[in-house]
Structure 1
Amino acid sequence: MTLRFACLTSALALATAPALAETTFNRIASFPVVTNMAAGEDTARETSSEIVAASEDGLTLVYTDSPLGVLGMIDLTDPAAPKPLGNIAMNGEPTSVVIVGAHALAGVNTSESFAAPSGRLVAVDLATRKEVASCDLGGQPDSVARAKDGSFIAVAVENERDEEVNDGALPQMPAGFVVRLPLKDGLPDCGAAQKIDLTGLAAIGGDDPEPEFVAINDLGEIVVTLQENNHIAVIGADGAVAAHFSAGAVTLEGIDATDERGALIFAERLADVAREPDAVKWIDADHFATANEGDYKGGSRGFTIWRKDGTVVYESGPSFERAVAQIGHYPDKRSDAKGVEPESIDFARFGDMPLLFVGAERASVVGVYDVTDPAAPVLRQILPSGVGPEGFVALPDRGLLISANEADLGADGGARSHVMVYQMQEGSPAYPTITAAGGDVAGFGALSGLAADPEVPGKLYAVNDSFFGFQPTIFTIDATQTPARITAALPVTAAGMPAQKLDLEGITPDGKGGFWLASEGNADKMVPHGIVNVNAKGAVKKEIGLPAALLAGQTRFGLEGIAKVGDVLWMAVQREWGDDPKGMVKLLAYNLEAEEWGAVHYPLEPKGAGWMGLSEITIHGDHAYIVERDNLIGDAAKVKKLFRVKLPDLVPAKLGETLPVVTKQEVRDLIPDLKGWGGYMQDKVEGFAIDAAGTGYVVTDNDGVDDASGETLFWSIGKVE
């Protein structure tokens, strides 16, 4: 199967659907799972919410936390304010969980090694939080599914391969299988367990099936993906294999497959890529969908809808990830063969709307598709998730969708693992806040500096930073649309090629049709601190480095923002350099006519747990407006603020002299704004501009989706007086 430009259809549907019908999902809460630890525990330990299930009344969530070896519980009585209910130790690694009646049923991996896998099914009473039953599964469980009527469960016993042995090649015994377990009053009947053999089915590693994910339809049929084997089997209600077939391959056109230098170039081709499906979910009694993550030698970067006889009804190919790129979530430096890595999938009917939810692990988003016609899914929304969405549970009766996000980046100062709550609401979606959909711009990310067109209200310009070091770009933004629309992408070039050694963090019109750009620089990477002038075509006309008197005390935290007043360029230095007093940073001035440098000192807010620094400078009326922030996220974040300094106070002293200290005035605390999207607090408030009509706009830097959720938050703070 060859897929060419199907990607444009879904992206266009997302961009032009009228108000995305009458209802949309919006995120209303984020629950950091670290809060489920008991008092006195070491909260720096890694946590991970992976597979999540809901009680039958929808008021309690239970999720697996593999690193801690526990089931975590959340009180969802008020979905906008989920509360911790603590953890339950599993004496092993919980891999999947379902809830039947009063019991949570979890697969627990107790394997000593890959060669000697073991595991059990554990039943926990939700009221007493005690283990009340346990069944030996005879191997390492991966996925658990329940029949809708609560009569039985199915467990995929993967017995996964060791990727360090023989380069991970199959076969690696013992073989995996599926266990079918009847339930009595919500508890497993261990003695009646049925082991379902899957050997001899797949053409790839047929004697070593590795079942990955199971799902059960209303007829009691089980579908199971054999991911590494690139195979799918359907097991009848009698426990016998009723059908099986290869998951096949896809040829992908127009993808960003191998270029990880820091550039979005959707011009490559991958031929005959094995789908290697991971998660699977029934849509109805005859159709199911798979998320084609890949893990062995394939991964077709999208999802597929199948008939249970193996007929492909719909193949997304690269359309999903192209739509993801257009909202700024394409993980360029982690994409390689897996793209956005669709790993998880769920289905539920909200009223008369049959909705398929596709989770992209590396892009940290959830695609919402209307599958009224399984052969022609319509992309309704893309929701921002936490880092690495792994599991979902839909609660149509409460109008809720829950995502469990496995990545815990706390050790590196990043986001912790979160469970996130979305609610179906009337009106327009809150996210995305900015998009490139509907035009010729393939994607964007890592937006840093922001500037306004001096004449056209709502017309802004932004630059990307060094994450896209091989694709420095000036973006034109139409902020009069909702979401804001990136309408053009102008490459920054030198001698006709993408300009190199730039870390763009600021932009301002030069008054001649071009722009002045501020490059933060990093001496460790041989990227100089300095400013660059480009013409209207983006070609570099002039480069000005910082003088030796400044560079003697340089750090890697250089210029963050640039603004022009008459013949003077003003630049904010992000953090203290070696010659700055503690708690002071420079606002640098460069006189274009005199070609002279000067500076003033700007007093930072008191430093908390992280560092404090500047992100932007823009000039409007009689003031210079400056964004100041700490580098903290989540509940630890304390300072994300907009200040201003009177222009008459910006009288630069010569370098080497005692610098005058300016007085700042707080204009707006941006933390309440950032909380409005229901996620964890974003770190990098990077861009601010005031347009020709006096309206202020703010944008965050999403770090190119590298160890970050990828969210770009763009919003207006209204008129700036």
Structure 2
Amino acid sequence: MLRIKTRYGVTAILFTSLIIGSPAMAAPILNFQKLWTYDAGNSVLDSYADQGVTDFDLAPEAEIVSYDTASERFFVINGREKGVDVLDKSGVKIATLDTSVMGSPNSVAVKNGVVAVAVENSANKQDAGEVWFFDAATASFTRKVTVGALPDMVTFTPDGSKLLVANEGEPNDSYTNDPNGTVTVIDLSTGVASATATHLGFGAFSEAAIEADGGRVFGNNNSATVSQDLEPEYITVSPDGKTAFVTLQENNAVAKIDLTTNTITEIQGLGYKDYTLPGNEFDASDKDGINGNLQNWNVMGMYQPDAIDSYVVNGNLYYVTANEGDARDYSGYSEEVRVKDLALDLNNNNIADSDADDTDNLGSPGGLSDGDFLLQKNGNLGRLKTTTANGDSDGDGLTEQIYSFGARSFSIWDENGNQVYDSGNLIEQILANQYSGQWADGRSDDKGPEPESITIAQLGQWMYALVGLERTNGVMIFDITDPTNPLYQSYIVEAGDLSPEGLLFVSLGNLAYGSGGYGYVAVANEGSGTTTLYSVSAVPVPGSLALFGLGMLVMRRYRR
């Protein structure tokens, strides 16, 4: 365990492990040192403590972070104050980009001195939203462009000639107004002043084809159209700027876009994770009295990724996903139900009763097998949240297969949507075995640690995935240089930082702060309203010292 004494007297914890690798090819271990933390809760508009209100009760203060290389400024979404906090390179707030006239900002991206902010329509979230453009150096507003309903994420192409917007198009709570999900491509090749927008929809795709490929179309008891049901969540653009991949989280799918023609070319269903397989064990209950009770269960997991990033290895394009999971749960329609409330037809006759103190079920009801009955007890699968939209294959009202939300993992896919790697139970296994203090057993019945954010850091020839775990308040680091064989490196936890939502890697030379190192990582934490900046240095691992050691701990004190 590496305990870092920060400049602010707060202890940051860095858990580091070395993994066996090829002696000649051992990836450098990334070392993180905190530089500063900005707390949006210190603003004068945010004095809620004496009102008995916690951060989680309100809109997120620090959701997404972006950076402008020229002005050396950070831009952090502050949904609570309906604006974007502008920070200097030392983490001091110097300005605010106010979007309150239109609504709350959901995402921010910066390229070539242009700041783009996705703003939802606060008067009616199902109406068209807007992208507001600002000058990064002066924080002055330049213009706005109308996009689709509920713009949730914005990102530039690598050269800055286009801005892509994921318009999620969520329904209202009663599900009486369900706008189309769309992707907007804004052409900035001739400048912001003359920007033009192209809106891409999903009307050309069929429900049958999407579901046959492992995706889902099911909204409002299957009454929603494909265009309404597909909800773009997050976007990554390939390094050459020619291809984009868009997560459709609730639909368990990814859309592929040809940016040379601005065309959605395919919907890639992601399929389902088989939790009966060795290496896919998971903790399904918050009432079994055991932290990290990882077991195989007759459950299929929907990957349902939130964040996505992409990279190229040996000329091949891959994308990586953080498989958080998400349910549709509205007053007008909800797919969410616990296993104990399902009418099952699984015939699980070999289920052991690990729940000695379960009082919900007093006897196996008629027509329900003993195995199915035991499965529904709280200490087994009874507490697990699942969906009514999948699993009844013959339409008889009985569930033949249980499907759960999210995969509690990160995955790597080739550009055609073929999975080349999934981390299986590795994230939960590491947390349970090494960092039990970070285990959130109250989330075991939901989606576990919820890998929500992901970004790729390239240091020389090495590629790393930084995976933000929303419910365990940390970031895991993996060497993904070989897409088929990622290796776990470390787990970063900063005291006081809760629910990492936005991750940003800034390569060396893009931030004039301090000396040495190879880059910088900024983490925006929506739960605590804090944004923390780390310097990142690479520690070479000689082949003779590449050790297996998930339990190897080192200690050092960092001083200013």
Residue of structure 1 in register with 2:526 after alignment = 406
Residue identity in the other structure for 2:489? R
Sort the Cα spacing of 1:400 and 1:276 in 2 relative to 1 into closer, same or farther, 3 A: same
> What is residue 341 of structure 1 aligned with on the other side?
450
CA distance in structure 2 between the partners assigned to 1:321 and 1:126 by the alignment = 40
Alignment-derived partner of residue 241 in structure 1: 264
Aligned partner of 2:406 among 299, 323, 338: 299
Q: CA deviation at 1:25?
A: 2.6
Q: 1:420: which partner in 2? A: 532
> SS where residue 323 of structure 1 aligns?
helix
1:520 maps to what in 2? Answer: none
Aligned to 2:47: 43
Trace 1:14-53 onto structure 2 (pairs within 5 A). 14=18, 22-34=28-40, 37=43, 40-44=44-48, 48-53=61-66
Match of 1:271 in 2: 299
SS at match of 1:277: coil
Matches within 5 A, 1:520-531: none
- 1:362 equivalent in alignment to 2:362: no
Q: Counterpart of 2:286? A: 259
Tell me, in whole angstroms, the C-alpha distance in 1 between the residues paired with 2:289 and 2:78.
33
Q: Deviations over 1:476-526 (max 9, x none)?
A: xxxxx7348xxxxxxxxxxxxxxxxxxxxxxxxxxxxxxxxxxxxxxxxxx
What's the offset of the Cα at 1:118?
Answer: 2.6
- AA at the equivalent of 2:323: N
The equivalent position to 2:192 in structure 1, one of 187, 195, 214, is: 187
Q: Which amino acid aligns with 1:156?
A: A
Q: Distance in 1 between matches of 2:177 and 2:426?
A: 35
Equivalent residues, number? 411
Indicate the residue corresponding to 2:93 in structure 1. 84
- Mapped partners of 2:266, 2:501: distance in 1: 28
Residues 70 and 113, structure 2, Cα contact 8 Å, conserved in 1: no
Contact 2:31 2:539 in 1 (8 A): no
TM-score (norm 2): 0.67
Structure 1 Cα separation of the partners of residues 84 and 67 of structure 2: 12
Alignment of 1:493-532 (within 5 A): none
Rounded Cα–Cα distance in structure 2 between residues aligned with 1:181 and 1:139: 15
Shift in Å, 1:16: 6.2
Task: Return closer, same or farther for 1:128/1:424 CA change in 2, 3 Å cut-off.
Answer: closer
**Hey, what does 2:460 align to over in structure 1?**
351
In 2, distance between residues paired with 1:50 and 1:65? 7
Larger-Rg structure: 1
Whole-angstrom distance in 2 between the partners of 1:382 and 1:270:
30
Secondary structure at 1:333 match in 2: helix
Q: Who is 1:156 aligned against? A: 166
Partner letter of residue 459 of structure 2?
F
Q: Secondary structure at the match of 2:251?
A: coil
Question: Cα offset for 1:43?
Answer: 3.3
Query: How many angstroms does 1:157 deviate by?
Result: 0.4
Change over 3 Å in CA distance of 1:349–1:177 after alignment to 2: same
In angstroms, what is the RMSD of aligned CA positions?
3.0
Q: CA deviation at 1:48?
A: 1.2
Q: Give the 3 Å change call, closer, same or farther, for CA 482–254 of structure 1 in structure 2.
A: same
1:641-680 → structure 2 map (5 Å cutoff): none
How far did residue 148 of structure 1 move?
0.3
Which residue of the partner structure matches residue 528 of structure 1? none
8 Å CA contact 1:27–1:677 kept in 2: the answer is: no
* Change over 3 Å in CA distance of 1:240–1:346 after alignment to 2: same
Alpha carbons of structure 1 residues 161 and 335: separation in structure 2 relative to 1, 3 Å: farther
Matched, 1:99 2:110: yes
Q: Is 1:120 aligned to residue 123 of structure 2?
A: no
How far apart are residue 321 of structure 1 and its match?
2.4
Contact kept? 1:261, 1:333, Cα under 8 Å: no
- Give yes or no for contact 1:111–1:118 (8 Å, CA) kept in 2: no
Per-residue CA deviations over 1:622-679 (Å, capped at 9, x if unaligned) read xxxxxxxxxxxxxxxxxxxxxxxxxxxxxxxxxxxxxxxxxxxxxxxxxxx9x9599x
Cα deviation code 1:227-246 (max 9, x no counterpart): 11111111102111223211
Q: 1:482 aligns with which of 553, 557, 560?
A: 553
Q: CA offset at residue 172 of structure 1?
A: 6.0
Q: Given residue 89 of structure 1, which amino acid in structure 2 is its aligned partner?
A: D
* Pairing partner for 2:201 from 197, 200, 220: 197
The question of 1:315 aligning with 2:321 is answered no
Shift of 1:437: 6.8
Residue 226 in structure 1 maps to residue 248 in structure 2 = yes
Distance in 2 between the 1:184 and 1:235 partners?
Answer: 19
1:112, 1:118 within 8 Å by CA — same for their partners in 2?
no
Q: 1:610: which partner in 2? A: none
CA displacement 1:527-549 (0-9 Å, x = unmatched): xxxxxxxxxxxxxxxxxxxxxxx
Q: Which residue of 2 aligns with 1:664?
A: none
**Cα deviation, residue 36, structure 1:** 6.9
User: For each residue in 1:80-129, what CA deviation from the matched residue of structure 2 results, as whole angstroms up to 9, or x when unmatched?
Assistant: x4222232211211111111222210100114345x33310000112322
Aligned to 1:215: 236
Counterpart of 1:482, as a letter, is L
In 2, Cα distance between the equivalents of 1:58 and 1:437? 42
Pairwise CA distance, 1:309: 0.8
Residue type at the aligned position of 1:68: E
CA contact (8 A) 1:351 1:396 kept: no
> 5 Å matches for 1:55-74?
55-57=68-70, 59-74=72-87
1:396 partnered with 2:507: yes
* Residue deviations 1:364-400 (CA, integer Å, cap 9, x gap): 1111111111111111221125210001110122411
Structure 2 letter corresponding to 1:60: R
Secondary structure of 2:427's aligned partner: helix
SS of residue paired to 2:281: strand
Distance 1:437 1:267 in 2: 23
Deviation (angstroms), 1:262: 4.5
Tell me the secondary structure at the aligned position of residue 224 of structure 1.
Answer: strand
**Where does structure 2 lack aligned partners over 5 or more consecutive residues?**
1-14, 50-54, 218-225, 328-386, 388-404, 510-518, 542-547
TM-score, normalised to structure 1's length?
A: 0.53
Structure scoring higher RCO (CA < 8 A, sep ≥ 6) equals: 2
Q: Is the 8 A contact 2:74 2:87 kept in 1?
A: yes
How many angstroms does 1:23 deviate by? 4.5
Q: Are 1:110 and 2:94 an aligned pair?
A: no
Deviation at 1:348, TM superposition (A): 2.5
Counterpart CA distance in 2 for 1:73 and 1:42 is: 16
Mark the CA change 1:187 to 1:324 in structure 2 (over 3 Å): closer, same or farther.
Answer: farther
Provide the rounded CA distance (Å) in 2 between the counterparts of 1:341 and 1:677.
33
Q: In structure 2, what residue type is equivalent to 1:137?
A: V
Paired with 1:344 and 1:270, the residues of 2 have a C-alpha distance of 28
Counterpart of 1:548?
Answer: none
Instruction: State the Cα distance separating 1:259 from its structure 2 match.
Output: 2.9
Partner Cα separation in structure 2 for residue 270 and residue 144 of structure 1: 38
Aligned equivalents of 1:175 and 1:15: distance in 2?
46
Report the Cα offset of residue 402 of structure 1.
Answer: 0.9
Secondary structure of the residue that 1:228 maps to in structure 2?
A: helix
Q: Contact 1:262/1:333 (CA < 8 Å) preserved in 2?
A: no
CA distance in 2, matches of 1:363, 1:186: 42
- 2:345 corresponding residue in structure 1: none
1:597-616 alignment runs, 5 A limit: none
**2:302 counterpart letter in structure 1:** A
- 1:290 maps to a residue whose letter is T
Report the residue type matching 1:181 in the other structure: I
Alpha-carbon distance in structure 1 between the residues aligned to 2:68 and 2:96: 16
Report the AA paired with residue 327 of structure 1. Answer: Y
Check the 8 A contact 1:357/1:367 in 2, yes or no: yes
Distance 2:190 2:39 in 1: 30
Please tell me whether the aligned partners of residues 152 and 234 of structure 2 are also in contact (alpha carbons under 8 angstroms).
yes
Taking the aligned partners of 1:396 and 1:304, their CA distance within structure 2 comes to 24
2: CA distance, partners of 1:14 / 1:378 = 9
Asked if 1 retains the 8 angstrom alpha-carbon contact of 2:474 and 2:500, the reply is yes
Identity over aligned pairs, percent = 27
Q: 1:186 to 1:375 in 2, by over 3 A?
A: farther
Offset of residue 15 of structure 1: 6.0
